[in-house]
Amino acid sequence: MQDELTKEQELQLNEWLDVSAANRETYERISRLYREGLADYPLYAAAREDKAWAKVRGRMGKGRARVLTLKSWAAAAAVVLVVAGGGWWYLSGRSRGVVYATTAGEQQSVSLPDGSTVVLGPQSHIELAKGYDKTSRRIELTRGSARFEVVHRADQPFEVDMDAATVRDIGTSFTIDKTADSIVVYVSGGRIAFIQKENRKSTEISAGGAICLYTGSRRAEGIRETAAGGADSLRFEDTPLSLILTGLEKRTGKRIMLVDSAVAQKRLTVNLEGEAFENALEVICSSAGLKYTIRDGTYVLEKKD
Half-sphere exposure of 241 (CA within 13 A, CB side): 25
Q: What is the largest CA-CA distance in the chain?
A: 90
Using the contact rule CB under 8 A, the part of the chain among 39-47, 74-82, 160-168, 202-210 near other proteins is: 39-47
User: In the set 34, 200, 237, 274, which binds other proteins (CB under 8 A)?
Assistant: 34
Closer CB to other proteins, residue 58 or residue 297? 58
DSSP E strand stretches across 163-248: 165-178, 182-196, 202-206, 210-214, 223-226, 235-240
- 298-303 sheet: strands from edge to edge: 255-258, 298-303, 290-295
User: In the set 7, 35, 200, 304, which binds other proteins (CB under 8 A)?
Assistant: 35
CA distance 112 to 132: 9
CA distance 68 to 71: 8
Which residues, numbered 137-166, are part of the site for other proteins (CB under 8 A)? 142-143
Which residues, numbered 166-195, are part of the site for other proteins (CB under 8 A)? 180
User: In the set 70, 73, 118, 125, which binds other proteins (CB under 8 A)?
Assistant: 125
Using the contact rule CB under 8 A, the part of the chain among 96-104, 192-200, 215-223, 276-284 near other proteins is: 96-104
Closer CB to other proteins, residue 33 or residue 78? 33
Binding mask 222-251 for other proteins (x = CB under 8 A): ------------------------------
Choose among 232, 228, 230: nearest CA to 207: 228
Closer CB to other proteins, residue 24 or residue 267? 24
Using the contact rule CB under 8 A, the part of the chain among 23-31, 200-208, 228-236, 282-290 near other proteins is: 23-31
Q: In the chain, helix, strand, coil percent, each to 5?
A: 35, 35, 30
Which residues, numbered 66-85, are part of the site for other proteins (CB under 8 A)? 67, 69, 72
Closer CB to other proteins, residue 99 or residue 213? 99
User: In the set 18, 28, 53, 115, which binds other proteins (CB under 8 A)?
Assistant: 53
User: In the set 55, 82, 237, 304, which binds other proteins (CB under 8 A)?
Assistant: 55
Q: Hey, what long-range contacts does 117-122 have (CB within 8 A, 24 or more apart)? A: 117/148, 117/149, 118/146, 118/147, 118/148, 118/149, 119/146, 119/147, 120/70, 120/144, 120/145, 120/146, 121/145, 121/146, 121/147, 121/177, 121/257, 121/258, 121/261, 122/257, 122/258, 122/259, 122/260, 122/261
CB 152 within 8 A of CB 116: no
| 21 in contact with other proteins (CB under 8 A) | no
How deeply is 87 buried, as exposed, middle or buried, from its count of CB atoms within 10 A (0-12, 13-18, 19+)? Answer: middle
Using the contact rule CB under 8 A, the part of the chain among 11-19, 153-161, 219-227, 290-298 near other proteins is: 11-19
Judged by the rule CB under 8 A, the positions of this chain that interact with other proteins are 1, 4-5, 9, 12-13, 16, 23, 26-27, 29-31, 33-35, 37-38, 40-47, 49-50, 52-53, 55-57, 59-60, 63-65, 67, 69, 72, 99, 101, 103, 125, 142-143, 180
